Amino acid sequence: MAENPFFAPSNLPYELPPFADIREEHYLPAFRRGMAEQLAEVDAIAGSAEPPAFDNTIAALERSGRILDRTATVFYSIAAADSSDGIMEIEKEISPELTRHSDAIRLNRALWARIKQVTTEAPEEAWLLEKYRDDFIRAGADLSESEQDRLRELNEELSRLSTDFAQSLLKASTESALVVEDPKELDGFDEARIESLRKDGKYVLPLLNFTAQPGLAQLTNRDVRRRLYELSVGRAPGNFEVAARMATLRAERAALLGFPSHAAYSVADQTAKTVEAVEEMLGQLVGPAVRNAKREAEELAEMAGFDIEPWDWPYYSEKVRQARYDFDAAAMRPYFELNRVYRDGIFFAAAKLYGVTFTERPDLGGYHPDVTVYEVFDEDGSRLGLFVLDPYARETKRGGAWMNNLVDQSFLFGLRPVVMNNLNVTKPASGPTLLTYDEVNTAFHEFGHALHGLFSQVRFPRVSGTSVPRDFVEYPSQVNEMWVTWPEILANYAKHHETGEPMPAELVAKLTAAEKFNQGFKTVEYLAATLLDWAWHKLAPGEPVTDAEAFESAALATAQIAVPQVRPRYRTNYFAHIFSGGYSAGYYSYIWSEVLDAESVEWFKENGGLTRENGDHFRRELLSRGGSLDPLTAFRNFRGREPSIEPLLKRRGLD
């Protein structure tokens, strides 16, 4: 047992997890010892003879569970990025145990009685105390014994179903992959891309975790596009039933906690606060977005010569884009080499704005050979933390892109942050990794999350870095997207991978001119997913859904967002954000955050753009604060006023 690497803090720099020493057999013993140790710590806090105070109650809870925290952080990072049959079995076994463990803490009546007596005058402590009280109330601390028993049952079943949904979807990304024997069927892909898909004498194109697969924009064979699209929307069909059951259970749990729906429960501790606030914002977008999408569909049909289907939209939108703006997105790829995008683009922008620098640490290993670790230094040379990058797709990795912390910044423990970005870029069989424009944008976006974690300057891990309301967390990452095409930054990284020549100015101009093109499609597919999420989670208790696909169709029609050629960005069966992630009744948060983002981009432009003064202001007032104060207060401190939706409408061409 002493050899288990989770039982003591890592001795690597910044307490980076010792991935080389971790084996699958370490996880269950570490989870169980960690849970037992934390429950003993909680019992000691709840049974203390000392009068309740912030340090011996709230701060003590923050100090508890260190083994469990180290274990869960690594395990769920690996489960997402480099899973295996063994990891999946452990996840099934441990998920309900972790749910019971969490309930044992949040439903501990003696602990809750003690928390209610704590007082403090210190602002950061007072904010954290309020967060703890809200956590316990929302977890059912004030319910009767019988109600808490039912709540435990609901939580445990939801935990199991969420794991089932995620694992089914992970398997479907490869089991439902497009497989062709003749490479001619992949016409439209370049030779390097086709070669990267070769596997056992066939060509395998795995699914990414959204409806409109990137290949649809390039594949010239219409029937192949149709097959790829139908594989995408039909994957993991068993997840329809899982999702319906989860929505039903969430509705029952919300009612038990005193809310009319899971949506009302979910939004109550976000910046939006109410169902009405979310629906008012969404209502301003649906009509203009649908009108734009229908107009775009007519333009695409004119180009195609026939009424287009969903699998035609990405292909013909590129044709129209080329004809109207003489812009071919594929022409940009030779200028977007992965390493240069990071070194001379993402890191360069961070240095210009915030004065930070990045040094590769080949002596610090990750959990996979594709992982690279960088040490981050502040302008004065002081050590800031580690940035871990895992850019490539693989069968053992879930779809999408994300950021997570491997170590939370915390003055309480004297820890600097270790943050990780995951992408899903196809790894070439040989030669350089060339990115699409969308992949570059995603890389800048995820790095915005990383900066939020790296710049955290808070005392308590509960409010460290990105530990902010879900409808605020996307805001800093979306702001970081503005630097993708900022002239000084683009000129520094967008260079041809063979000649080193900068991207031609006319290509950049065409990109800028074409940016608002296809915004009707993009906004409708996003809003359709958002309103589908909302429909599932506005179910009242006692409203079981017997036909999930019929429910999905009816929900989109009721929301007036049903455009036949534009399906939701995520359908129910692969909507991981809401059925296996933390975004249930929260997918609206991307557009809610974009309101703040659009305001902030205007502020940067009004104040001189890429300057240290601007970067330091954003870092000081917002990025460094984590969740240690009200997020909209942090926004007002940065922007100097309340947010308005007009900049967002203008950006998306919906004004």
In a domain, residue 282? The reply is: yes
CATH number of 46's domain: 1.20.1050.40
Do 502 and 534 belong to one domain? no
Crossing angle of helices 66-81 and 85-106, rounded to 10°: 140
Could you tell me the residue range of the domain that residue 217 belongs to?
177-234
Instruction: Compute CA distances 121 → 60, 411, 630, whole Å.
Output: 18, 19, 16
Do 478 and 568 belong to one domain? no
Do 79 and 187 belong to one domain? no
* Number of Cβ atoms within 10 Å of the Cβ of 246: 24
User: Residue 216: which of 448, 535, 525 has the closest Cα?
Assistant: 525
* Number of Cβ atoms within 10 Å of the Cβ of 428: 15
In a domain, residue 202? The reply is: yes
Do 587 and 494 belong to one domain? no
In a domain, residue 164? The reply is: no
Do 32 and 54 belong to one domain? yes
Do 291 and 416 belong to one domain? no
Based on the residue annotation, tell me whether 446 is a catalytic residue of this protein: yes
In a domain, residue 149? The reply is: no
- Among 449, 479, 513, the domain boundary falls at 513
With a cut of 50, list the residues of the chain below it in pLDDT: 1
Please report where in the chains the tokens 């049903």 appear, as a residue.
Answer: 562
Instruction: Compute CA distances 200 → 197, 240, 645, whole Å.
Output: 10, 32, 52
Q: Which two tokens stand for residue 182?
A: 């003749």
Do 291 and 423 belong to one domain? no
CATH number of 364's domain: 1.10.1370.40
Q: Which one of the listed residues 446, 525, 552, 594 is annotated catalytic?
A: 446
Number of structural domains in the chain? 4
In a domain, residue 319? The reply is: no
3-class SS at 130? helix
Do 647 and 522 belong to one domain? yes
Please say whether the beta carbons of 408 and 464 come within 8 A. yes
Res 1: pLDDT: 47
* β-bridge pairing 418-425 and 383-392: parallel
In a domain, residue 243? The reply is: no
Q: Which two tokens stand for residue 502?
A: 């900068």
In a domain, residue 240? The reply is: no
Do 532 and 556 belong to one domain? yes
Res 605: pLDDT: 96
Do 466 and 588 belong to one domain? no
- Among 123, 142, 161, the domain boundary falls at 142
Do 286 and 388 belong to one domain? no
- Among 142, 157, 189, the domain boundary falls at 142
Res 2: pLDDT: 59
In a domain, residue 130? The reply is: yes
Do 361 and 508 belong to one domain? yes
Please report where in the chains the tokens 């890429």 appear, as a residue.
Answer: 610
CATH number of 286's domain: 1.10.1370.10
Tens-digit pLDDT profile for residues 397-449: 998 899 999 999 999 999 999 999 999 999 998 999 999 999 999 999 999 99
